[in-house]
């Protein structure tokens, strides 16, 4: 770059890129690339204090980077330089980012909806069928040389009512798949969908969803208003013998209350890919032969992982090049991102 050339915008990679390093490296033609692929929160904060990131306009943040920097909480957001305006996050869930603190600093945050819909919906159906068919005990027995073990009769999905809590992209993809098994779909959102998106699903109140669902699927984001949205009072309103499936975030469920309802038989089975305190799992779930469990693999396919990485990079490019993000998080939609006037 010649002395008269404008300085390239600076962007930062936090965490790893696995399938799209070639795309990341190609950004060198228009950005200055910095990286913090591994380290500790103390090291990251020390870099911020030392001015290492003073020119950063935006970052690519992998979901796994929380293990290195900790969450983007109020402390960390407050330490970001004034130049930092964009966080392109890799993940449909973004509960490890304090969006309110980001909004107060006028830092836009994007996530990766859409890219995860199919893989997560497929995992939901896998768990739904595994829980309905009481598949855990036969699978364990087979490997232990006990053939079917203490097999319980399962249930067919046909004719069952599937209640979807959170009818966004993933919830609609789950409904699409469940229809092929002959399930009736009801759902609850904060607002009813456009009828064109319902595809025959029926909008009901939260109370009716709990009361009518034979299978309750959680497909909503985790935030302060949805944390423990299913606890003892809500479980008491469900049908005796209900099956509960969760591929969203573990803390949507009060795990201790769920274990109690499972032990009593009120909940007949669960299919879970996410847990309240990952990687720790409530021992009552681990011990239950009516709990069909997976270790948070909902988006663990090559195609989905690459699509997510590419969407994060696209968000970062749109932010730096055009001042807008393609998939801004819901809490920030409609906010005024125009620069404030001096003295305002």
User: Known catalytic residues?
Assistant: 249, 278, 296
- Please tell me whether the peptide bond between 279 and the residue prior to it is cis, using omega within 30 degrees of 0: yes
Map residue 79 onto helix, strand or coil. Answer: helix
Query: How far apart (Å, rounded) are the C-alpha atoms in residues 234 and 211?
Result: 9
Chain centroid offset of residue 294 CA: 15
C-alpha 330/C-alpha 111 separation (Å) is: 9
Give the closest residue to 272 by CA, choosing from 261, 286, 264, 260.
286
Among 31, 66, 23, residue whose Cα is nearest residue 321: 31
CA distances from 31 to 102, 133, 164, 250, 293 (A): 23, 53, 43, 37, 43
Q: Which residues contact 73 (CB under 8 A, 6 or more apart)?
A: 98, 101
């Amino acid at each position: 770059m010649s002395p008269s050339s404008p300085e390239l915008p600076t962007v930062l990679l936090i965490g790893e890129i696995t399938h799209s390093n070639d795309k990341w490296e190609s950004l060198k033609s228009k950005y200055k690339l910095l990286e913090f692929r591994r380290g500790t929160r103390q090291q990251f904060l020390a870099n911020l204090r030392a001015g290492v990131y003073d020119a950063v306009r935006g970052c690519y943040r992998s979901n796994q980077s929380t293990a290195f920097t900790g969450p983007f909480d109020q402390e960390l957001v407050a330490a970001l330089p004034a130049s930092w305006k964009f966080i392109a996050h890799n993940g449909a869930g973004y509960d490890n980012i304090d969006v309110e603190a980001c909004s107060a600093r006028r830092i836009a945050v994007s996530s990766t909806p859409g890219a995860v819909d199919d893989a997560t919906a497929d995992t939901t159906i896998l768990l739904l069928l595994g829980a309905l068919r009481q598949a855990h005990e036969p699978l364990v027995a087979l490997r232990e040389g006990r053939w079917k073990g203490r097999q319980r009769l399962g249930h067919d999905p046909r004719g069952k009512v599937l209640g979807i809590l959170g009818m966004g992209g993933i919830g609609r993809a789950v409904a699409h798949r469940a229809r092929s098994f002959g399930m009736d779909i009801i759902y609850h959102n904060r607002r009813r969908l456009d009828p064109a998106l319902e595809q025959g699903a029926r909008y009901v109140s939260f109370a009716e969803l709990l009361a009518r669902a034979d299978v309750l699927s959680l497909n909503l984001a985790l935030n302060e208003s949805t944390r423990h949205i299913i606890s003892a009072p809500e479980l008491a309103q469900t049908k005796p013998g209900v099956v509960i499936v969760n591929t969203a975030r573990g803390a949507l469920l009060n795990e201790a209350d769920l274990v109690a309802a499972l032990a009593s038989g009120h909940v007949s089975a669960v299919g879970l890919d996410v847990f309240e305190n990952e990687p720790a799992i409530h021992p009552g779930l681990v011990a239950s032969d009516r709990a069909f469990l997976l270790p948070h693999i909902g988006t663990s396919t090559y195609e989905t992982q690459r699509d997510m990485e590419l969407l994060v990079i696209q968000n970062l490019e749109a932010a730096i090049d055009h001042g807008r993000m393609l998939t801004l998080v819901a809490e920030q939609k409609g906010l005024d991102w125009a620069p404030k006037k001096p003295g305002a």
